[in-house]
Amino acid sequence: MASQPETQYHHHGRLRVAGGVIPDAITAYRTYGSIENPCIVFPTCYGGKLDSQVYMVGEDKVLDPRKYFVVTFALFSNGESSSPSNTPAPYNGPYFPAVSYEDNIRAQYAVLQKLGVKKVHLAIGFSMGGQQAYYWPVVFPDYVEKYVCICGSARTSPHNQCFLEGPKAALVASKDFDNGHYHDTPQHGIRAFGRVYSAWAYGQTWFREHLYLQGGLYPDLSTFLRERWESGFLKSWDANDLITLLHTWQSGDVSKVRNGGDLKQCLAEVKAKGLIMPSKTDLYFPPEDSVDEVTALGDNARLVVIDTVWGHVAGGGSNKPDDDFIQSQVQKFLEE
């Protein structure tokens, strides 16, 4: 991986959020390219860190720093921006307040104002990043020209919320989570969380075709679960961060910003041009939801379904064919 720009930190001071206040809120971000170029905002997803964003940023990729000023943002609660794991008492750990998508977007906007960005040419993201991309033209309708939602939605569906209760319950009910007051990594809880989460990340056909073996990297399903899912969360994530960030996902709904919960009316009023790219086999954000949303968005949005067996992770740089297809569609959209 090519060397990355230094992570920068914007201090908001005392920031009011959905569940209270963060006394010294911090947004972590990176910038690529010249501010003289059109600005592209690319926030993280669930399980994403700033290092994760490089799959779409680079001179050989669609978010080319030679053409665009790319700003990648870390979500609150991802362990890089203000989170339960890095906030001092009295808002540490389980005492960290709930944070909404709107809170994140307004904080990211404050960073762009400091940088001198006059307009966002494109807001783009995958999964929770895609939901943030939806929020941008709703929260700041005259500031955003285009947005791309990859494997996300404008509102987290009841089915999606129900899924999230599974891994959450596996973690918080574990014998070592201790209501968020653990002193050491809750091994039992995070391992259980990863296993519950894993099956939903891919399409059924992906498992049936044994693609989890990753061309011989894993000898069997048990090894895949242990090394890919248990290890991934154990190495990189704090348990309270996982729970707080999950709450942000569960509560996603752009119509809460305006229109009083009327999602169709909210989407009908979006001015920016949109590209909505669900995965054909996504179990979190099924394409049927995207069809309804694009219908409400009208002529301002286009639906392109990713024809894949990789399920939800198809949108996050998991495999080259899907990644090439997504980037080619985004490139076409940028050039329109």
**Which residues does the annotation mark as catalytic?**
127, 282, 312
Cα separation, 169 vs 196, in Å, equals 10
Instruction: Name the nearest CA neighbour of 75 among 59, 52, 93, 91.
Output: 52
Residue 72: strand, helix, or coil: strand
Cα separation, 122 vs 270, in Å, equals 14
- How does strand 20-32 pair with strand 120-126? unpaired
Handedness of CA 108, 112, 115, 121 (dihedral sign): positive
Q: How would you list the strands of the sheet with 69-73, edge to edge?
A: 8-17, 20-32, 69-73, 39-43, 120-126, 144-150, 273-277, 301-303
Q: How far apart are the first and last CA of the chain?
A: 31
Residue 287: strand, helix, or coil: helix
The number of angstroms, rounded, from the C-alpha of 201 to the middle of its chain's C-alpha atoms is: 14
